[in-house]
Amino acid sequence: MRRPCIEIDIEKIKHNANYLVNYCGEKGIEIMGVTKGVCAYLPVVQAMLEGGVKKLGDSRIQNIMALREAGVENPIYLIRIPMISEAQDVVYYADGSLNSEIDVIKALAREAKKIGKVHKVILMVDVGDLREGVMPEDVLDVVGEILNLEGIEFEGLGTNVGCYGAILPSYENTKILVDLAANIEKKYGIKVKTISGGNTATLSLIERGKLPEGVNQLRVGEGILLGTDVTNFRKVPGTVQDTMKLKTEVIEVKVKPSYPIGEIGRDAFGNIPVYEDKGPMRRAIVALGKQDCRIEGLKPVDDRMEILGASSDHMILDVTKCPEIKVGDVIEFNVDYAAMLSLMTSGYVEKVVIR
């Protein structure tokens, strides 16, 4: 086995998917399984599907294309606003997409007409996080434009919170979608099929009985993949969290000063580091760096160790309390969502499935 590697427990991910699909399903809420966190890694996607997920979402058309080429036939949505330049591929490979720009939707309509398809559109509404989305006061007019396009089916409304502005989901900001859907139905005489009320963070509203009636879809990645909700800083009830572990190999162990010797300038990433002089320290280096992973998202399984920092290719640990550590040993880390995302994206990190 090559190292570094990320070990993925498929059965635990399947458990998380199954629990959330059933828990939300009892309340009339569909789970779209979001695969972007693992770059649509096929064994993980299959675990989601085996866990009961029927519909998938990913932010990269390349990942959706790979899933189609692997034979995945389930509905798949592009959950990042499409680029006009990729409209042809989006229509061909994805059943639907999340959108906020009418010019993009028109491009999708043109491509859909060319190949005789109908592409589903969920119009995103900005309820305060200030990432993607039409402002609420403009939604009715934009929907009117969408309804006049051939090759496009207006499926419903969606929103996103917690990813950019760190705005938490609430009854009030989620109910904006429900109220808008009612206004759309009244004005245009249509049924709004889908109200996509957010992501993993919105699960907390269901648990507290605060999700507005009418929301019938959540787009869940982190809650399935890791059993966590980083926005609310919590573990998702009913799920397991030890689904993935990073394994690295020690390439150097030496006692060195804890404070660098010489004049301090900027590091390789342009930052001016700050150090505390703790005296001589037993330091281990593992073969992993910032090119592979968001180091801040790692936590050693052995809590006697501490991550001191990293360069592009080397991560340095304080192993003073671990006298047994030697060159060639394997050190394990728990990962958060950001670390998982970077590790799964890195071509230098081996992906290993365990059952």
The residue from 198, 218, 235 where one domain ends is 235
Q: What is the pLDDT of residues 136-145, one digit of tens each?
A: 999 999 999 9
Q: Which among 25, 67, 61 is positioned nearest to 44, based on CA atoms?
A: 67
Q: Which value, to the nearest 10 degrees, does the dihedral of the CA atoms of residues 333, 58, 34, 25 take?
A: -170
Number of domains in the chain: 2
Secondary structure of the chain: what % helix, strand, coil (to 5)? 30, 25, 45
The verdict on 169 and 64 lying in the same domain is: yes
Could you tell me the pLDDT band of residue 268, with boundaries at 50, 70 and 90? low
First to last CA, the chain: 16
Sign of CA dihedral 274, 279, 280, 286: negative
CA distance 201 to 48: 19
pTM: 0.94
Residues 6+ away with beta carbon under 8 Å from 166: 129, 231
The residue from 186, 217, 235 where one domain ends is 235
Tokens of 249: 């190999």
Could you tell me if residue 2 is inside a domain?
no
pLDDT of residue 348: 97
pLDDT of residue 334: 98
Rounded average pLDDT over 226-253: 96
CA distance 58 to 341: 13
The verdict on 95 and 199 lying in the same domain is: yes
Tokens of 99: 């959108």
C-alpha angle with apex 350: 288 to 336, nearest 5 degrees? 65
Could you tell me the pLDDT band of residue 275, with boundaries at 50, 70 and 90? confident
Could you tell me the pLDDT band of residue 205, with boundaries at 50, 70 and 90? very high
Burial class (CB in 10 A: 0-12, 13-18, 19+), 243: buried
Tokens of 273: 């580091």
Using an 8 Å Cβ cutoff, are 295 and 327 in contact? Answer: no
Rounded average pLDDT over 12-40: 98
CA distance 14 to 2: 25
Could you tell me if residue 66 is inside a domain?
yes
- Angle of helix 102-115 relative to helix 139-147, nearest 10 degrees, comes to 20
Domain of 320, CATH number, reads 2.40.37.10
The verdict on 73 and 113 lying in the same domain is: yes
Q: Reply yes or no on whether 36 is catalytic.
A: yes
Domain of 206, CATH number, reads 3.20.20.10
Rounded average pLDDT over 109-122: 98
Backbone φ, ψ for residue 272 (5° rounding): -100, 105
Q: Which of 311-314's residues contact partners 24+ apart within 8 Å by CB, and which partners? A: 311/267, 311/268, 312/268, 313/287, 313/288, 313/289, 314/251, 314/285, 314/286, 314/287, 314/288, 314/289
Domain membership of residue 175 as a residue range: 10-235
Q: Which value, to the nearest 10 degrees, does the dihedral of the CA atoms of residues 167, 344, 221, 35 take?
A: 120
Tokens of 321: 């309390």
pLDDT of residue 260: 76
Distances 84 to 61, 109, 337 between C-alpha atoms, Å:
12, 11, 29
CA distance 50 to 76: 16
- By DSSP bridging, strand 96-99 and strand 76-78 are parallel
The verdict on 152 and 35 lying in the same domain is: yes
The verdict on 270 and 350 lying in the same domain is: yes
Using an 8 Å Cβ cutoff, are 190 and 230 in contact? Answer: no
- Does the pLDDT value for residue 258 go beyond 90? no
The verdict on 227 and 293 lying in the same domain is: no
Could you tell me if residue 3 is inside a domain?
no
Q: Which entry of 12, 14, 36, 55 is annotated as an active-site residue? A: 36
The verdict on 38 and 177 lying in the same domain is: yes
